Amino acid sequence: MARSLVSFLLPCFRTSLVTPLIFGLLLQPPLTQLSIVTQPNIVLLMADDLGIGDVGCYGNDTIRTPNIDRLAKEGVRLTQHIAAAPLCTPSRAAFLTGRYPLRSGMDAINNYRVIFWNGGSGGLPPNETTFAKILQQQGYSTGLIGKWHLGVNCESRNDHCHHPLNHGFDYFYGMPFTLISDCQPTETPEMDRAFRRKLWLSTQMIGLVTLTAALGRLTGLISVGCKTLACLAGFSFLFFVSWYSSYGFVRYWNCIMMRNHEVTEQPMVTDRTTSFILRESISFIERNKQKPFLLFLSFLHSHTPLITTEKFVGRSRHGLYGDNVEEMDWMVGQVLDAIDKEGLKNTTLIYFASDHGGWLERQEGKRQLGGWNGIYRGGKAMGGWEGGIRVPGIFRWPGVLPAGTVIDEPTSLMDIYPTVVHLAGGALPQDRVIDGRDLMPLLQGTVDHSEHKFLFHYCGIHLHAVRWHQKDSGAIWKAHYVTPVFHPPGAGACYDRGFCPCFGEGVTHHDPPLLFDLSRDPSEAKPLSADTEPLFDIVIRKIGRAIEEHHRTLTPVPEQLSMYNIMWKPWLQPCCGTFPICWCDKEGENKLANL
Ligand SMILES: *[C@@H]1O[C@H](CO)[C@@H](O)[C@H](O)[C@H]1NC(C)=O
Ligand SMILES: *[C@@H]1O[C@H](CO)[C@@H](O)[C@H](O)[C@H]1NC(C)=O
Ligand SMILES: *[C@@H]1O[C@H](CO)[C@@H](O)[C@H](O)[C@H]1NC(C)=O
């Protein structure tokens, strides 16, 4: 009843002169009520690969992030904000669905732990309900600007079954994939090199099969002799292979920009990507200021190859990586200014986070190209150690959330889901497990503890560690069952492989598990034992029972990152042109037309 009244009143809140009056009246009851009725705009800012140690308000005194720091000063800063996975694809899947990634089949069963191609068939399943979809149904304008990395197609080139527009976003501008070094012609390509070596054969095989099939169809129509056919197939195959290998094909297949369903740049022109992403974000705010909107600005910063505009190169004290972080902070400032300018500051909830920890192994010689995780052990790709999963998490909503607050309770990126769904007046799906918890009571200070008792830390589908927040004592126990083998030993990272694995020879199993109390030892430096910790056995048993219970909530689902789904498939490759000749620069054309 209250809900329907609220939705009935909503149009007035937005447009009429009654607004100040109603606001005035609402200021009397507790703030919680205000937050339920206003359907705030929601702006989610997500950095890519940014470490918790890279941000000023998290203790970095040499990198300059004044705009992110301003958000924290005017809002709530979370010190124990945890990603559900240590890599982009699974972490973002969990973020958008409010569920551990293995519930949607979005975490790795093998060594392919993220989506590798725009032309793969895996991705966020169409039957998952993102918060964007619920907000869309609640009357929000929903936009995603920037990185997606959750798949594109299922069965044909333009079915876009995994595409943002099929997952609750009205508008999309950005990369369906992720930045990789291959996108920057001046950089050493990372994927191209690896794939030329490893997947060369399988890619060629697919090419061959496709061509033979195509030619088979052709011969049905014009009945060419068998020998001619073989000859043709051979020629086409050779053409395909030589065309392929001479172009840095990864760049053409993966480094593309799209606007809604249309490919606008293939390959993308990296020099202008940053300014386009900023322009699109600001214009989305301006276009939608009259009704509630959800803007998910999913930065390409600070992922390698660290595309940085001239103006910021050489400005920081931490090389290109620092320059890139400082540029992203400047972009955050531009977005905040746009919100202020439109008078939306008090009606907009802003959130800033990173998808997972910084990438320690990413170095060239002494040059740091990846993020820094401060006092926390480990980094990107490590499911258990804090450095891989503890990220910045900041909320700002003036007048509703108390300014300058710091909260040390365990929270998860999955919590955004129920939080924004409730703010929009929507209901959570009842037919599935949602792992996130509404953060508003904690953020507003009406409760002292987060609802999370246990958090499960996965590496792919392998459970590496579990955190137990023992609320009465304040202890944050963390038991590690599996840890990666560092190389060189004690290095805190896997420099021999580029990133740490989840299973196999590269990991150590612990029985009994390694136990830490993060409230006393946040760096996970000294494991406790039954001799040093009287509660050791009790804690391990308690966590063991929680794991059993958690396992009972899991059901098998199709594996989105299976070998088959990961593979590049020519018939799924988004293509601007006639496959396999895919090339366009629509932004360039537009620019010329405008002159
Ligand atoms: C600040 O960030 C830079 C860049 O990641 C890092 O090299 C440096 O160690 C950090 N400083 C502190 C005090 O954390
Ligand atoms: C926004 O909220 C702040 C803090 O409650 C208040 O001081 C300010 O006057 C409000 N601004 C507007 C435009 O309502
Ligand atoms: C989505 O479909 C798959 C395959 O049919 C099924 O296993 C899964 O449970 C479904 N997910 C939801 C959330 O309904």
User: Mind listing the pLDDT tens digit for each residue in 102-138?
Assistant: 999 999 999 999 999 999 999 999 999 999 999 999 9
Q: Is 557 in the pocket of ligand 3 (CB under 6 A)?
A: yes
Nearest CA to ligand 2 atom 1: 346
Residue 542 falls within a domain, yes or no? no
**What pLDDT is recorded for position 34?**
46
Per-residue pLDDT, averaged over 267-284, amounts to 97
Q: Which carries the bigger pLDDT value, residue 7 or residue 414? A: 414
The answer to the question of residue 529 being in a domain is: no
Model confidence at 582: pLDDT above 90: yes
CA distance 14 to 139: 12
N residues, the chain = 595
309-324 per-position pLDDT tens digit: 999 999 999 999 999 9
227 in any annotated domain: yes
Residue nearest ligand 1's atom 14 by CA: 60
DSSP class of residue 381 equals T
Nearest ligand to the CA atom of 431: 3
User: Which of 68, 372, 376, 380 should be mutated for ligand 1, with most atoms under 8 A from CB?
Assistant: 372
125 C-beta closer than 6 A to ligand 3:
yes
Mean pLDDT across 323-334: 98
Residue 343 CA: nearest ligand 2 atom is 13
Asked whether residue 198 is domain-assigned, the answer is: yes
Positions annotated as catalytic residues are 88, 149
pLDDT, the chain, mean: 89
Cα of 127 vs centre of ligand 3, distance in Å, is 6
Which ligand is nearest to the Cα of residue 398, counting in written order?
2
**Domain membership of residue 17 as a residue range:** 1-27
Ligand 2: lining residues by beta carbon, under 6 Å = 346, 398-399
Q: Which two structure tokens, joined as six digits, stand for 111? A: 């060594």
pLDDT at 248 > cutoff 80: no
- Main-chain phi, psi angles of 191, to 5 degrees: -75, -45
Average pLDDT over residues 284-289: 98
How far is ligand 2, taken at its centre, from the CA of residue 424, in Å? 21
Nearest residue by C-alpha to atom 10 in ligand 1: 60
Pocket-testing residue among 97, 127, 154, 167, ligand 3, by greatest number of atoms within 8 A of Cβ = 127
Counting beta carbons within 10 angstroms of the beta carbon of residue 235, is it exposed (0 to 12), middle (13 to 18) or buried (19 or more)?
A: exposed
Q: What confidence tens digit (pLDDT) does each residue in 172-181 have?
A: 999 999 999 9
Q: How many CB atoms lie within 10 A of CB 471?
A: 13
| Gap between the Cα atoms of 438 and 421, Å rounded | 9
Does the residue 396 lie in any domain? no
Closest atom of ligand 2 to CA, residue 403: 4
Longest Cα–Cα distance in the chain: 86
- Provide φ and ψ at 265, rounded to 5°: -140, 125
Tokens of 574: 């988004």
Residue 281 has pLDDT above 70, yes or no: yes
User: Which span out of 198-207, 357-366, 527-536, 578-587 was modeled with the highest average pLDDT?
Assistant: 527-536
CA of 345, nearest ligand number: 2
The mean pLDDT value for 527-541 works out to: 97
Compute, in angstroms, the gap from residue 123 CA to the centroid of ligand 3: 13
Q: How far apart are CA 105 and CA 90, in angstroms?
A: 9
Q: What is the pLDDT of residue 215?
A: 61
Q: What is the pLDDT of residue 7?
A: 38
Query: CB-based contacts of 163: which residues, under 8 Å, 6+ apart?
Result: 148, 151, 152, 153, 172, 176, 261
Q: 350-402, pLDDT tens digit by residue? A: 999 999 999 999 988 888 899 999 999 999 999 999 999 999 999 999 999 99
For the cut 90, the answer to whether the pLDDT of residue 533 exceeds it is yes
| Pocket of ligand 3 contains residue 98 by CB under 6 Å | no
Question: Whose Cα sits closest to atom 8 in ligand 3?
Answer: 557
Query: Is the per-residue pLDDT at 285 higher than 60?
Result: yes
Nearest CA to ligand 3 atom 6: 557
| 256 vs 247: CA distance, rounded Å | 15
More confident residue, 5 or 367: 367
- The more confident residue out of 188 and 287 is 287
Q: Quick one: average pLDDT of 403-408? A: 98
203, 218, 247 - which closes a domain: 247
Determine the straight-line distance between the first and last CA of the chain, rounded to whole angstroms: 56
Whether 219 shows a pLDDT value over 60: the answer reads: no
Closest Cα to atom 7 of ligand 2: 399
Confidence of residue 472 (pLDDT cuts 50, 70, 90): very high
The predicted pLDDT at position 196 comes to 58
Share of the chain above pLDDT 70, in %: 84
Residue 2, domain member (yes or no): yes
Q: Which two tokens stand for residue 110?
A: 């093998």
Question: How many helices and strands, by DSSP H and E, does the chain display?
Answer: 18, 20
Kindly report the protein residue whose alpha carbon is nearest to atom 6 of ligand 1.
Answer: 372
Give residues with Cβ within 8 angstroms of 275, minimum separation 6. 309
Q: Which ligand is nearest to the CA of 24?
A: 2
For residue 470, count CB atoms less than 10 angstroms from its CB and return exposed for 0-12, middle for 13-18, buried for 19 or more: middle
- pLDDT for position 20: 38
pLDDT above 80: residue 192: no
Q: Whose CA is nearest to atom 4 of ligand 2?
A: 399
Q: Is the pLDDT reported for residue 216 higher than 80?
A: no
Q: Separation of 124 CA from ligand 3 center, angstroms?
A: 11
Flag whether 219 is in a domain: yes
**SS (HEC) of 445-486:** CCCCCCCCCEEEEEECCEEEEEEEEECCCCEEEEEEEEEECC
- Is residue 243 domain-resident? yes
Q: Report which bound ligand comes closest to the CA of 558.
A: 3
Cα 420 to middle of ligand 2, angstroms: 22
69-111 confidence digits (pLDDT tens):
999 999 999 999 999 999 999 999 999 999 999 999 999 999 9
Q: How far is the centre of ligand 2, averaged over its atoms, from the C-alpha of 34 (Å)?
A: 14
Give the list of residues 6+ apart from residue 240 with CB closer than 8 angstroms, or none.
Answer: 207, 211, 580
- The pLDDT confidence band at residue 187, using thresholds 50, 70 and 90, is confident
- Confidence band of 247 (pLDDT split at 50, 70, 90): low
What is d(CA 255, CA 248) in angstroms, rounded to the nearest whole number?
Answer: 11
Please say if the pLDDT value at position 585 is more than 90.
Answer: yes
pLDDT, average across residues 402-408: 98
Q: What average pLDDT score do residues 337-356 get? A: 98
The count of structural domains within the chain is 2
Say if ligand 1 is within 6 A of residue 366 CB: no
Residue 280 has pLDDT above 60, yes or no: yes
